[in-house]
Amino acid sequence: MKDWQKHISRQRIGEKTELKSVEGFWVKPRKFSVEENDRIQAANVAALSKVKRSALAQATQKLRGQAETNPDALVMDLLDEKELEALMDVQFAPAAEIVKLQILYGVAEHNFCEEESTTHMDGKLVEEIMQAPEIAGEIALVAQRFNDPLAKRTSGISGTSPDGSTAERSSN
């Protein structure tokens, strides 16, 4: 491995994270490659488009019948709260494929196999992990947080005291 590859490899792998959902097991997250990130984003878009289409189809079907009897009514008046939320809220998207990809691409090292530590994560192991939703969700969350471009570690020390004053000098 060339020097630049070693350097990038060190940057792409995160700290060992002990799993809370299963004692004694851990993962080391890794950055998604550009291609892997594209696949995860495509799965997100596909999941969201399925939700929107089905919600839209249900709403359209309901509105067809009501539009004839009440042509001046607003869509918001004709649909109930659940139907409106389904049209607007993206949190109902099926997440299984996204979680699988985050685990497959986002784990650099783990101790889920017989060895003390392994860097191999394949589809079969991911499917086994997916049978335990708490574990799968936690691992996916570790990978997602490590790959979040906005996530930055803070020092944990605030420059502002509890009474609202600050010990730092103003830049004026």
**Do the beta carbons of residue 77 and residue 142 sit within 8 Å?**
no
Distances (CA, A) of 140 to 22, 39, 52, 115: 14, 15, 24, 22
Does 51 reside within a domain?
yes
Distances (CA, A) of 126 to 32, 52, 60, 103, 142: 16, 28, 38, 7, 15
Residue 11: both structure tokens together: 């940057």
Number of structural domains the chain divides into: 1
Residue 131: both structure tokens together: 């049978």
Round to whole Å and give the CA distance between 17 and 110.
9
**Stretch 114-143: mean pLDDT, rounded?**
91
Does 170 reside within a domain?
no
Does 122 reside within a domain?
yes
Does 2 reside within a domain?
no
Does 156 reside within a domain?
no
**pLDDT digits 0-9 by tens, 59-74:** 777 677 666 666 656 6
For residue 61, the model assigns a pLDDT of 72
**pLDDT digits 0-9 by tens, 1-48:** 788 877 777 789 999 999 999 999 999 999 999 999 999 999 988 877
Round to whole Å and give the CA distance between 43 and 100.
10
> Which structural domain, as residue segments, surrounds residue 27?
14-147
Sign of CA dihedral 8, 9, 15, 17: positive
Does 4 reside within a domain?
no
Does 167 reside within a domain?
no
Round to whole Å and give the CA distance between 84 and 78.
10
Does 77 reside within a domain?
yes
Q: Is the pLDDT of residue 56 over 80?
A: no
Q: Is the pLDDT of residue 154 over 50?
A: no
pLDDT, greater one: 170 or 99: 99
For residue 155, the model assigns a pLDDT of 45
